[in-house]
């Protein structure tokens, strides 16, 4: 590297010069890459807009149900042609929401069991509305591609699941 990277000024004058050159050259090359990325692979404008508009998704009334089980991460792969349904569990205090998303659609159950209004959120798009029966069970079409969340009104409480990509 020292041979190919001769810039001609005073090897002898600065004993540590070579190493310093290296650091400086690294920083310059990294900066050049940064500029290249800004030109060739920037954040797509449409995505920036979506992220800016996502601020409207803030839901101050709802309690957040965090993802506590995800079959994609927490279970062993299943062999076979069939796409196994994705199984998800969310928890907010005493409220648990079990969800299965597969080719058939979306089914789920609220625990403790009880009637609930369920909204399927998918970004800024209009939300699908489902109703959970007395046992807390609900079913609907699979959410459209992209991140989705469920907003449930049950037992006087509003709970919203963490955004997730189905």
Partner 1 sequence: MIAPVRDGTTSSTAYDDLSYTRGGTVDRAEVGVLVQSAADGDAAAWKALVDGLGPLVWSVVRAHGLSDADAHEVYQTAWFRFTQHLGRIREPEKTGSWLASTARHECLKVIRASQRWTPTDDVHLLDRASEDRTPEESVLDSEEAAAQTERVRRLWQEFEELGERCRQLLRVLMASPPPSYQEVSAALGIAVGSIGPMRQRCLRRLRAKLETRGTT
Among 2, 11, 12, 16, the residue binding partner 1 under the rule CB under 8 A is 16
Please give the backbone phi and psi of residue 4, each rounded to the nearest 5 degrees, phi first: -80, -15
How many binding residues for partner 1 (CB under 8 A)? Answer: 64
135 binds partner 1 (CB under 8 A): no
**2 binds partner 1, rule: CB under 8 A:** no
Q: Distance between the two ends of the chain, CA-based, in angstroms?
A: 49
For 135, other C-beta atoms within 10 Å of its C-beta total 12
Map the footprint of partner 1 across residues 29-48, applying CB under 8 A: 29-30, 32-48
Query: How many CA atoms are closer than 13 Å to the CA of 38, on its beta-carbon side?
Result: 6
**Three-class SS state of 145:** coil
Residues that bind partner 1 (CB under 8 A): 1, 4-5, 7-9, 14, 16-17, 19-30, 32-48, 50-52, 54-55, 57-59, 64, 70, 72-73, 77-78, 83-84, 123, 145-147, 149, 160, 162-165
């Amino acid at each position: 590297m020292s041979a190919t990277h001769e810039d001609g000024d005073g090897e002898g004058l600065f004993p540590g010069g070579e190493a310093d050159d290296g650091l400086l050259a690294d920083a310059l090359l990294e900066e050049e890459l940064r500029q290249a990325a800004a030109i060739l692979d920037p954040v797509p404008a449409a995505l920036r807009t979506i992220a800016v508009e996502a601020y409207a998704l803030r839901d101050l009334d709802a309690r957040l149900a965090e993802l506590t089980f995800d079959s994609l991460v927490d279970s062993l792969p299943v062999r076979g042609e069939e796409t196994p349904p994705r199984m998800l569990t969310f928890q907010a205090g005493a409220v648990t929401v079990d969800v299965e998303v597969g080719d058939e659609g979306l089914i789920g159950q609220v625990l403790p069991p009880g009637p609930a209004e369920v909204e399927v959120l998918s970004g800024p798009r209009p939300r699908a509305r489902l109703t959970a029966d007395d046992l807390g069970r609900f079913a609907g079409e699979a959410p459209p591609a992209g991140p989705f969340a469920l907003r449930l009104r049950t037992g006087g409480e509003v709970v919203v699941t963490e955004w997730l990509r189905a």
